[in-house]
Amino acid sequence: DAGVTQSPTHLIKTRGQQVTLRCSPKSGHDTVSWYQQALGQGPQFIFQYYEEEERQRGNFPDRFSGHQFPNYSSELNVNALLLGDSALYLCASSNDRVGTEAFFGQGTRLTVV
C-alpha cells in the first residue's frame, strides 16, 4: 500500500514564476491538506480539500490555490513566486473525521531564487 506521494521532491524556480506541486493521498483517504514549513518552523496550514472543494484555508494569500481531483489527488499552485515562498511543502492525507491522524508525504523542497 503506497503512502502519501508527492512530486517533485525538489524544485528551483525564479522569482515571479508559477509552480505546481502534486500529491497523491494514502489509499482510502479522501481529505488532503497542504502545509508550508520554513526551516526551523512548524508546518503552517495552507488549505484543505475534501470532495474536490477547498473546505478550509489558512492565512495565505490568493497566490496560493489548489485543486482536488475525483481520485482524491491534489495540486497546489503558487503564482508570482516570492523569495519568501522558499520552503518545504508538505501534503497530508486523512479520513474526514475530526481527530484522525494525518499521514504526510515526503514533501517538495521549493527554492525560489
Partner 1 sequence: GQNIDQPTEMTATEGAIVQINCTYQTSGFNGLFWYQQHAGEAPTFLSYNVLDGLEEKGRFSSFLSRSKGYSYLLLKELQMKDSASYLCAAPGGSAGNNRKLIWGLGTSLAVNP
Q: By the criterion CB under 8 A, which residues form the site for partner 1?
A: 4, 31, 33, 35, 40-45, 48, 55-56, 58, 90, 92, 96, 98-99, 101-107
Distance CA 43, CA 68 (A): 21
Q: Report, in Å, the least distance between residue 101 CB and partner 1.
A: 5
Q: Report, in Å, the least distance between residue 16 CB and partner 1.
A: 27
Strand partners, 37: 88
Q: Of the two residues 20 and 58, which places its CB atom closer to partner 1 in the complex? A: 58
Q: Of the two residues 16 and 51, which places its CB atom closer to partner 1 in the complex? A: 51
Q: Report, in Å, the least distance between residue 18 CB and partner 1.
A: 24
Angle in degrees, CA 17, 92, 21, rounded to 5: 20
Residues whose CB is less than 8 angstroms from the CB of residue 23 and which lie 6 or more positions away in sequence, other chains included: 4, 5, 6, 32, 34, 73, 74, 75, 76, 91, 93, 105
Using DSSP bridges, classify how beta strands 53-57 and 44-50 pair: parallel, antiparallel or unpaired: antiparallel
Q: Of the two residues 25 and 105, which places its CB atom closer to partner 1 in the complex? A: 105
Q: Report, in Å, the least distance between residue 42 CB and partner 1.
A: 4
